Amino acid sequence: METYGYARVSSIDQNEDRQLVTLTDLGVPPNKIYVDKQSGKDFNRPKYVELIQNLQHGDLLYIKHIDRLGRNYEEILEQWRTSASSTY
């Protein structure tokens, strides 16, 4: 079992440090933290895609707030249903 973290801010001028501190405090290794500086309008984000490709059944993923995954709760649920069924 691996532990991962995901952080996202909406633009390059925003700061993700608070999210990174939280993930580090939770014990996520720095090399397992994925950060995107991009809008949450869809899931076509480079580091998010890389993260999803690396996740395996039984891995643990920390995200400081659910809104870091996306803007719409229903879209987030659908993304995870789709990702989980194709990953496992």
pLDDT tens for each residue of 6-64: 999 998 889 999 999 999 999 999 999 999 999 888 889 999 999 999 999 899 999 99
With 70 as the cut, is the pLDDT of residue 83 above it?
Answer: no
More reliable by pLDDT, 73 or 39: 39
Residue 68 burial (CB count, 10 A): 18
pTM of the model: 0.86
The domains located in the chain, with CATH, are 3-87 (3.40.50.1390)
Can you give the pLDDT at residue 20? Answer: 97
Beta-carbon contacts of residue 10 (< 8 Å; ≥ 6 apart):
37, 38, 39, 40
> Does residue 73 have a pLDDT over 60?
yes
pLDDT at site 86: 56
Cα dist from 13 to 19, 24, 64, 70, whole Å? 15, 22, 19, 18
* Cβ neighbours of residue 74 closer than 8 Å, sequence gap 6 or more: none
pLDDT of residue 85: 57
pLDDT at 88 over 50: no
Enter the tokens of residue 44. 């076509």
CA distance 4 to 51: 8
Q: Would you call 85 a catalytic residue per the annotation? A: no
Q: Which of 10, 39, 85, 86 is catalytic?
A: 10
